[in-house]
Structure formats: structure tokens, C-alpha cells
Amino acid sequence: MKEHISIYSHPRSGTHFLEAFIARNFYRGQNLSSNGAIYYGHWSNKILLESGEPYHQLFGSHFFPEEVKKKKRRIYIYRDGRAVISSIYRSKFYSTSWDGISFSEFLRKKIDWYGGLGREAYPDMNIVEHWYHHLNSWMNQPQDDLLIIRFEDLKRDPKTVYKSICKKFFPQEYLKLRLGINKKIDPIREKVGLSPNKATITSWQTLFSKEDEEFFISQLPSLEYLDQTK
């Protein structure tokens, strides 16, 4: 049996949303759970989820690509950095010593983790820099066994994303699509994941002031990874 797809991402990029999408559309009926409790959240205040996570076996990691053992079927999902940062802030996935921090302060402060929130690290970059560095590192990996998916595309057009996954990793299913044998897909309409937010594409706009957005843009070498769909 072929190994399951492994999903990688920057924290709060739609990881669990994609896990649910893949589990329900490609591994329906299979037990993909963590088979026990898991911890999540910031390293200074990890949260115990006693019930476990239903699709945890599809999770690769939040690490940078050079730290990850190479597998044959990998997907990296990314999301507009403004939405990522807003989600981390709203979920309060930051140091307990930062309690009460404003969003503007959070945006500019150097973070104390690297790759995943659960791993303590010496602060040397802010959250904007970390998001871009993480995403750009994965984007520059060889893509013979890696598929890059944008969270916004998965929300807006799940059928096209389903087709791209079939083409990359499930050739028999892709052939059926080519022959006009369409399958009803589950687009995942309910909230899923750990401390799920609304997962709307533009929810970040209620947090960012004009000055915050200007600062965010000023930290990026390029705007290529932002969602610019109107």
C-alpha cells in the first residue's frame, strides 16, 4: 500500500482544513486519527487535546524543508501571511509573557519559536519575516514529489484543487476525471482543526490598520505570495 500524503505548512495556514479535505475525498473510511492525545499551541503554554486529532496521520510538520525527512507524497499548503498572522494572534498562540499584547505590537515583535510554535528558539525575526522565509523555502524545493496548494484556492475552487491532487498523486482517479467520470467531492463547509477560526479569506482585514499593513508589506522582498484575487 502506498504511503499516505503528508501535509506541511506554516502554522495556521489551513493545515487541518486540508487534512479533512484529503481524508474525506481520498481516504474515506480509513482511520487516520492520532490514536491518542496530542499537544498543540505555543511552547510556553501547550494545550492538551485528550480526544486526539481525527486526521493526524496526514500531518507532516511545520518545520522548514531542510529539517524534514523526504517522503514520496507531500503537499505544502500556504495562505496569505496577513491571514496567518491574524489567526495566530486571535488564537493567542504566543508566549504567556506576551499576555495583553496589542496586534500592532505582536506584528512587529521578534518571535521566540522557529518552524512550529511548539519549538522554542532565540528571537531573530518577526512573524512576517518568518512566514515569508518559511513559504519561500518550501517554494524553492524540487517539486517532483511535492504539490503546492494555496488555501484560498482550496476555499474558492475545491474541485480544481481536487483535480490537481488527483493528477499528482492519484493517476487512476485523474484518468476517470479525464474520461468524464466525475466524483462528488466534500468541500468541507464546517469548522475543523485545532482552535478553529472562521477560516474566511479576508478575516485579517478587521485586525490590520493601514499602518500595520504598510509595515507588513515593508517586510516582504516580494508580494508574490499574497492573495490578490478581488
Q: Answer whether residue 224 shows pLDDT above 80.
A: yes
With a pLDDT cut of 70, the percent of the chain lying above it is 97
- Fold classification of 6-218 (topology level): Rossmann fold (3.40.50)
Cα separation values, 37 from 4, 23, 43, 80, Å: 21, 19, 17, 30
Q: Which tens digit of pLDDT belongs to each residue from 142-157?
A: 999 999 999 999 999 9
Q: Are strands 38-40 and 47-49 parallel, antiparallel or unpaired?
A: antiparallel
C-alpha cell at 45: 503554554
For residue range 2-17, what is the model confidence (pLDDT) as tens digits?
A: 789 999 999 999 999 9
Q: Where does the pLDDT of residue 230 fall: very low under 50, low under 70, confident under 90, or very high at 90 and above?
A: low
Contacts for 11 with CB less than 8 Å, ≥ 6 apart: 62, 84, 88, 93, 116, 117
Q: How far apart are CA 166 and CA 5, in angstroms?
A: 12
Kindly tell me if the per-residue pLDDT of 199 is higher than 70. no
> Whole-model pTM?
0.95
- What are the sequence ranges of the domains in the chain? 6-218
Quickly list DSSP for 29-80: T---S-SS-EEES-TTS-EEETT--TTGGGEEESS-GGGSPP-SSEEEEE--
- CA distance linking residue 12 with residue 79, whole number of Å: 8
